[in-house]
Structure formats: structure tokens, C-alpha cells
Amino acid sequence: MFNFVRKTMKSYWTLFFFSIASVSQAAVLSTAISQDSLLLGDRVHFCVSMLVPKAATIIPPSTDSGFGKFVVKEWNSNKVEKSNVDSFAFNYVITLYTTEQCTLPALSYTLVQGDKKDTLYSQKIPLRLVLVKNTDSTNPSIKGLKPQQSAGSPSLAWVWILLGLCIAGAGIYVLNRRLKSRKKPHKEAPPKPPYEEAMDALALLDGKRYLSKGLIREYVFELSDIFKRYIERRFGTNAAEFTTEEMLDWIKNSVLTPAERKIAEWFFSTADPVKFAKWLPDGDTLDRFGKDVRQFIEQTRPRPEAAPQPADVTHAA
């Protein structure tokens, strides 16, 4: 990587001196590569930089089919505007998956300046392919040399450590079981019926006085959540997770009466732009929001079933 940075800096210095001495409008192209040898699959950094006349543009070569046998993993470009020229840099990460060719071909870059076009070519770069990586760091000249092996009986320290961990784990398990057995079972209070829960939530919402504070969007959001929560618990749906479109589809196919369906459809269709499009409704619409939700809850609350009347029994004389 250091060599690549050094080569890249060298190319930039070359371009810099060209820019100082540029009395013509000719373009200058330079290349730099991070390494001159690679293994199959290595990621190689390759840079093409150039100085071009002011207001000129560069069309780089397509990377879809790679550069010869090289596959382009990623690439980016940047442009720096100078006083008398513009600087372009195209940075690539390439790799090779075949041993058939190991030369980066010349790449063509199209220089567009007004109605004129010209083609700039990078130089061919031969790379050396290393098929086997030498992993012997101690003495690469002696093949098959293994590091020094230890002699004597193996240490049993790990056995004692494992045994200690098992004993500690067993002690923690037994202690945890005893603590749980001493705790008294805590019975959670059963949830309120859907109607009572919804009416309590509406009372809390009124107590926040959102409308008097001008917090219309917050009011509609909480009112919509209360409405969805009631429908979910009352009719056994997943309404709390429904989008507006899913909510309207459920209403259309539900067991609601036409009057109840009309209330729910109007509420969710009208509340949606208030929640997500920041639409500010008038006072009558805001007042209707709360009234319709309460009316829907009252109309759909479960009614206690009437106790069956005892049948009349006539005794024969």
C-alpha cells in the first residue's frame, strides 16, 4: 500500500509540474498501481489521473465487463478545478480470478471539450501472478521445515480450569433455583376489556389538551392509535400494525354494519393526511374526529347477553 501511495503521489507531482508549465491545451494522463504482483483474488488498487483543459469532461471506460481478465470490484472518481486546468482521478479496485492473462490492458478515456472529442489511453501494466503464497516466515529457503515441537507430558491445567467452571456453574444453578422457590408467585392483573381501556385512554388524551396547545398532529396520532388498539382487541385483528391502506381493506371486508364501516373509513381516510402530509383540518373536522371515535366504540362495545327466561310449567290437577 505504501508503494501505491508513493507512486500515486509521484504521478500527482508529475501532473502538477505539467500544470505549471502548460502553455498548450493538451491533456496529460498518468497511472499508478498498488503492487506489481498478486495472488488470485487479491484486491489491487489502480489509479488513472489526468490534467485536462478547463471545462473539459472525461468519459471513463465501462467497467461492466471488467478490464480484460481483471474484474472491477468497485471504483470512484473525483475532480479538482484549478486555475488553468482541471484534474480528474479515477480510482479502481480490481482482482483476477484466472491464470490466462496477467496484464492490465490499455484503457481508453474520452476527452470532450465543446464539439471536439479526443481519446486518451492508459499504458499497459504487466503484473506477476503468484500461484502459491509462501507461508514459512522462519526460513523460506528451507521447505518442509516445521516449528519447534514441545516435548514431555501435556499440561493438565486446562482440565482443572474446565472442572472449576463446571462446579461454579452448578453452584450458580442450584442457588438460582433456591431463590426462585422462595419467591412468591406474582399474579398480574388481567387487562381491562377493550371498551374500558379505550375510554380510559380517551380520557387521558383529553387531559393532555393537545388542541388548545395547537398540537393537532400529535392529537390525531394518539387518537388514531387508540382507535386501532380498540379495533385490534375488540375484533381480534392486527390493526395496530396496519397501514392506512391495510386498515381500509380490513374495514371493507369486516363484519361491521354499514354505519360503523362509514365512521371508520371516514376517520382513517381523513386522519392520514393530517398525520403524514401535515394537513391542518378545520375546527369542525377536529371535533368530529373525537366524536366519531367515541360513537364507534359505543356502538361496537360487547353487550351482555340477556339471561334466558324460565319456561312456564303447568301442573296438571
Complete DSSP assignment for the chain: -HHHHHHHHHHHHHHHHHHHH--S---EEEEEES-SEE-TT--EEEEEEEEEETT-EEEPPP-TT-BTTEEEEEEEEEEEE-SSEEEEEEEEEEEE--SS--EEPP-EEEEEETTEEEEEEPPPEE-EE-SS-----S-TTSTTPPPPPP-SSPP-HHHHHHHHHHHHHHHHHHHHHHHHHHSPP-PPPPPPPHHHHHHHHHHHHHHHTTGGGT-HHHHHHHHHHHHHHHHHHHHT--GGG--HHHHHHHHHTSS--HHHHHHHHHHHHHHHHHHHS-----HHHHHHHHHHHHHHHHHHSPPPPPPPPPPP-PPP-
> What's the CATH code, domain 2-129?
2.60.40
Model's pTM, two decimal places? 0.41
Q: Give the integer Cα–Cα distance in Å for 221 and 237.
A: 20
pLDDT of 131 higher than 90 = no
Average confidence score pLDDT of the chain: 82
CA neighbor of 92 nearest in space, from 69, 66, 118 = 66
pLDDT of 181 higher than 90 = no
Section 93-117 average pLDDT: 86
Tens digits of residue pLDDT in 192-241: 999 999 999 999 999 999 999 999 999 999 999 999 999 999 999 999 99
- pLDDT category, 24, cuts 50, 70, 90? very low
Which residue in this structure is represented by grid cell 468497485?
Answer: 74
Q: Are the beta carbons of 104 and 70 closer than 8 angstroms?
A: yes
CA neighbor of 93 nearest in space, from 132, 38, 131 = 38
- Please report the pLDDT score of residue 132 as a whole number: 61
Which residue in this structure is represented by grid cell 500527482?
Answer: 12
Section 143-158 average pLDDT: 58
pLDDT of 99 higher than 60 = yes
- pLDDT category, 54, cuts 50, 70, 90? confident
pLDDT of 64 higher than 80 = yes
Under 8 Å CB-to-CB from 72, ≥6 apart: which residues?
A: 63, 66, 92, 93, 94
Q: Where are the domains of the chain?
A: 2-129, 194-300
pLDDT of 72 higher than 60 = yes
Complete DSSP assignment for 54-116: TT-EEEPPP-TT-BTTEEEEEEEEEEEE-SSEEEEEEEEEEEE--SS--EEPP-EEEEEETTE
- Please report the pLDDT score of residue 45 as a whole number: 94
pLDDT of 262 higher than 50 = yes
Q: Are the beta carbons of 83 and 112 closer than 8 angstroms?
A: no
- pLDDT category, 156, cuts 50, 70, 90? confident
Give Cα 298 distance to the centre of its chain: 43
